[in-house]
Structure formats: structure tokens, C-alpha cells
Structure 1
Amino acid sequence: MAMRGDRLLSIVLLLQSYGRMSAKTLAEQLEVSERTIHRDMEALSRAGIPVYAERGKNGGWRLMEDYQTKLTGLKEQEIRSLFISPSLQLLEDLGLARSSREARHKLIASLPPLYREQAKEVWSRIHIDTGTWRNQKEKIAAFAVLQKAIWRENKLKIIYERADGNTSVRIVCPLGLAAKGRVWYLVASHGESVRNYRASRIRSAEPLDETFTRPDDFNLAQYWEASMKSFIDNLPTYEVRGLAAPAIVPRLMFTGRFVKAVEKEAPGEDGWIPVTFSFDTEREAKEYVLGFGDQLKVTEPPELRKALIKAAEAAVDFFRREYE
């Protein structure tokens, strides 16, 4: 069905470009039989596309005069991609939720009848939700200021809170906003480098009268992909090997935010299943393993085994003092 839909749109675009074409020429262009072209013309006519045949030696298929497709060159899959529901949460953050809905309605109205209903169907079949189950939205005090500065290319004086709680004052050139999940980042140049600033940590932002020249070769999407890859490649890794009780293996497959990878092997003769985890730090590994009690054994590294014993003994001593 998708292939035929693309072919029908191609026929309309060919007739629009060349005016009149014979069934033979159309068949050669689209690599189908002339019989298929005649069936396609019937389908186009039923869909409301004004095609008609001219008889005679120089005859062929034509579109009614002045008829123009309104989405020139778009294939069926391409049209569908335009109607995938965007993230409502991110559109709301940007103040564009209502505008997005109105734009999609206008886009549907501009489609040929052949694709209008199919485009509407995309809304009812695919929905993207970037919110979390608890949906704790980060408060961004200066979000509107950031957006205006990006469009107007104004330099910004920001007070930024680092991860350690300390703040600093910086003059930056805002290049764009990027969302990772529901978390927004300001991408801005500072000196000779381009950096990412978590928008919720920008305590204040003051636009300056001074503007800047945006680099012609800066591509936000390409920069962000490279930045994320560099961040991931440079994350510390702490690998842990162990044995898991069969009952908890399904839970291990749905790892938490600290675990980057989980691999499992065939069960041993005793039924325990060898597993491999990759964490950022020893502390994260220790807290994760302790959460499974006697259902998860650590075999490597040996220093983690010692840290687990020490942490478990400290927990037992604490509970005895508090509850006995």
C-alpha cells in the first residue's frame, strides 16, 4: 500500500511537471506495466485528483488546468513523518503547543485528498510522551529570556550554579536550546569554546545590548550529537561481575539509571546465573548490589566485596542501635 501511494503521488508530480504523458511513458518512468498505470489513474480519479485522458496520436494523461499539488515531492512515508506527534511537554516549555496543533491542521488541509485521511491516522496511532511517570518538571527561571536572546543574538550575562553548589557570573553567546528527555540545556559559546549549561541551574539571565555574530558553520544538531558522544565516551566505568538468583533476573534486565549495561550468561549447575554490570562508580555499584540482599553475589572486583561487607555491618549496627 505504501509503495502504491508513493507511485500515485509520483504520477501527479510527473503530470504537473510535463503537462501530458502517455501511459507508456509513465509506465517506463515508474517501472510498471501500462495496465497498472490505467488502474492508478482510476484510483487517482476516485481520490479526487482531476486527471483525464486525451485521445489521438499526441494524446496522453493530463491534469486539469491550474491543478497543483500542495506538497510537491513528498512521498507517503515522508508525509507520515511530518505528522508524528511531537513532544507535547517540550512544546509547552517553548510556548508552542497551540501553534503546533494549528500548524498541523493547516498542513492537513493542504494535502491532496489521497493522503489527508492517512495523515490524520498517524495522530491516532503514534504518540510521543517525553515526560516521566512522576513528571517532575524542572523550574527554569530565565527560560523566556534565553529564547529571546537566541533569536535576537544578544549576549547574555548569566549567574550559573555548578554541580557543587557554587555560582559564577559569565558572559555567553547563546547559540541554541537542546532538550535531553525533559531536561533543557543552553548551548552557548564562552570565550573560544562552546559549552552546555543546564537551564535549571541558570539562576538569572540578563540580555546585554551587545550582539554577537553567530558562526555560519555552527549546526546545533551536529554539535549536540558530538557533545553527547564525547560525554558518554568519557564517563568513568566500574565493571562488576557476579551471580544472580533466577528470581531476580527479570528485574535486572530493567536496570536503573546507574547501570549502563547488563549481560547474562547460561545458569551454572547450582542455578545461579552469571551477570556483568557496568556502573559509573564503586559507590553506585555498592548501593545497587545491597538493594538485592542475598539474591546477588559479587565475584569481582574483590575490593567491592570488602566494601559490601563493611556497608552491611554498618547497616546492621545502625538498625540495632535504633530498633532494639
Structure 2
Amino acid sequence: MRADRLLSLMMTLQTRGRTTAADLAKELEVSKRTIYRDIDALSASGVPVYADGGPGGGYALLDSYRTTLTGLNENEIRALFMLTIPGPLADLGVNQQLKAAFLKLTSSLPNQYQEQAHAIRQRLHLDAAAWFRKEEPVPHLQTVQEAVWQDLQLSFSYRRGDGTVNQRLVSPYGLVAKAGIWYLVAETERGMRVYRVSRVETAVLTQTHFIRPATFELAAFWEKWVSEYEVGLPKYPVTVSVGPELIPKLPHILGASTRALLAETQPDANGWKTIDHTFERQEEARAFIMGMGTAIKIVAPDSLRVSIAKLASEIAAHYAD
């Protein structure tokens, strides 16, 4: 552990130049006293580290000292440093290792490339989290991950969408993070299944090894599964007439595809446009349309119009008392 810290300390000094003990302690998450001991250890091992006292002082390496990294051109360096450490990798507990790897890489680059790497990080940030969605707790992700790494069968209790909890025994083939949500791809007695890891309520790593098929490709399976899942989603088509005050706002609510649909539709004499949209369920369509108030009208189906009229009457009666 200390060897890794000493290497990180050396790389930090090489990347940043003169740095105070306080800043080094904060970066490496240790005490200043530990930094002092580590500086002495580096010096004793032949690393040319020295201290500057007074204002603006700190620890630094001799300018002539540098590890080297070759074989990367300017475009490759730019592409590499566009990477960040997204939330899913932090969930897996490898964020510190990734930080250390990037630090080693950065410190090995010539000065002009180090400056370019810093400039890239200041100009591009990747945030994979979805809007208005709280992060799902995944308390058993580490156990699931270990089962995947070790090719060990996993026993877990799983809460279904309807709230029921069942016990499962699976052969876990892989983990997938999509839109900030973790999924487990596993083989069961009934074939391949996908489980949402946040719904795993208990998880026990067995000592039973399974044989992973040599032909299994996680990315190919996931792409096929997602495609089939999207096709299999329930569909509830609705035709609505949209008022002029809602038209410019609707693409921000229903998505960019609605913008093109509205652009292709001619308004009536009062500026209203009639379009089709597909919801998953009647309840979803009803909640959306009622939320838009009088800025939208149902054209079809009649059952949705009747349902909304009935609910509106019940709400009016409720607040009339």
C-alpha cells in the first residue's frame, strides 16, 4: 500500500511541480506527518526531491528528473484525456485506481502535452447521470461484481416490479450500466435474464463455479436485449390537438422527435396542430394530458377522453365541498 502511495506522491510532484505538504496530504488523503515520512523515503531511495521554505514553498523534483512514456501522438492524447471517471466505475470501487493510472500517464508526458491534458479537462466534462433522477442505491453491487469476476453462482432475493420478492440462483455473466442504472445479465434455469441490481435485497456468493460459454459476448447480448425490450414495451397511441401556446414547449416535454412532427403539421384556423404520440399506458397518457390543462385536446381514443372527463368531474366535486 505504501509503495503505491510513494509512486502517487512522486507522480503528483512530477505533474504539478512545487506542492505544499498540506496539498499533498489532501490529494493523497493522508496526514502531513505521513507526507513528511514519505518524502524522506523517496529521498532515501534516490528520487531527487527537495524542499523550498518560505512563502510559495513546498516540495519539488529536480527539473532533470522525469519518467518517460512514448508512442502517443497529440490526437491520441487528446482522445485519452477526454475520458473522466463516470459514476458507474466509481460504484465498482475502481475510481482511485483510475485516478492513479491517469496521474502516472500525465506525469510521463512532455510538458507541452501535460498542458494540453489539463486544457482538455477544463473544456470537456462527461456527466452520464440523467436529469431529475435520484441515484439508485446498490448495496449489493460489490457482491454481484465479485460473482461476475470469479464466475461463481449467485443466490439473491429479488424484488419484482409488482413488489413481490423471489429467491434466485443464477450464473452471472456480466454487469451493464445504462443511464446510471446497473443491470445484471445472468443465466437461469429458464434461460438468460436481466435483473436491476437496485432491486437485489440480499445477495450471497456461493462457491459453485459455472462455465461461461466461449461464444457469449456481453455487448452483443445487451444490444439485442435492449432492442427486443423496446419493441415489447406496451404501447398506447393517442391523437391530440395542441394549442399554439403549448406547441413551442412540447418538444422539451415529449422529446426532439416531436419537434419534427409539429414542423410537418399544418395548423388549423386557430393555430392548433393535431399530432399522434404513443404512451406506454392509458394512465400515463391521462396524467400527461391533464397536466397540460386546456392547452391540449384529445382527438382519439374516445375511452381516454371519457376517462379524463370522469376524473375531472370527480376532482371538481371533491373541491366543491
TM-score (norm 1): 0.70
The residue that corresponds to 2:121 in the other structure is 123
**Identity rate of aligned residues, in percent?**
33
Distance 1:75 1:191 in 2: 50
2:89 to 88, 91, 111: 91
1:237 maps to 2:235? yes
Q: Do structure 1's residue 163 and structure 2's residue 161 form an aligned pair? A: yes
CA distance in 2, matches of 1:197, 1:71: 43
Could you say what the CA RMSD is over the residues aligned between the two structures, in angstroms?
A: 2.3
> How far has the Cα of 1:195 moved from its partner?
1.2
Q: Which residue is equivalent to 1:223? A: 221
Which segment drifts farther, 145-154 or 245-254? 245-254
2:148 matches 1:150: yes
Q: How many residues align?
A: 250
> Structure 1's 70 and 312: CA in aligned 2 closer, same or farther, altered over 3 A?
same
Q: CA deviation at 1:94?
A: 1.3
Deviations 1:275-323 (A, max 9, x none): 3221111111111001111110111222222222112112212222xxx
TM-score for the superposition, normalised by structure 2: 0.71
Task: Give, as a single letter, the amino acid of the residue that structure 1 aligns with 2:315.
Answer: A
2:270 equivalent in structure 1: 270
Determine the C-alpha separation between the residues in 2 that align with 1:260 and 1:162: 32
Aligned residue type for 2:282:
E
For 2:202 and 2:309, locate their aligned partners in 1 and report how far apart those are by CA, in whole Å. Answer: 46
Instruction: Give 1:162 deviation, angstroms.
Output: 0.9
Cα separation, 1, equivalents of 2:176 and 2:229: 15
Instruction: Using the TM superposition, name which of 223-232 and 261-270 deviates more.
Output: 261-270
Higher-Rg member (1/2): 1
Aligned residue number for residue 309 of structure 2: 309
SS in structure 1 at match of 2:298: strand
How far apart are the structure 2 equivalents of 1:71 and 1:280? 54
1:299 to 1:134, Cα distance in 2 relative to 1, 3 A: closer
| Equivalent residue, structure 1, for 2:175 | 177
Is the partner of 1:246 in helix, strand or coil?
A: coil
Deviation string 1:216-261 (CA, Å, 9 cap, x unpaired) is 22222221111111111111222222211121223211226xx795
In structure 2, the CA distance between the partners of 1:163 and 1:71, relative to structure 1 (3 Å rule), is: farther
8 Å Cα contact 2:85/2:95 also seen in 1: no
Q: d(CA) in 2 for partners of 1:315 and 1:105?
A: 61
The CA distance in 2 between the partners of 1:287 and 1:252, in whole Å, is: 15
Contact 1:243 1:275 (C-alpha < 8 Å) held by counterparts: yes
Q: 5+ residue gaps in structure 2?
A: 1-67
Structure 1 letter corresponding to 2:290: L
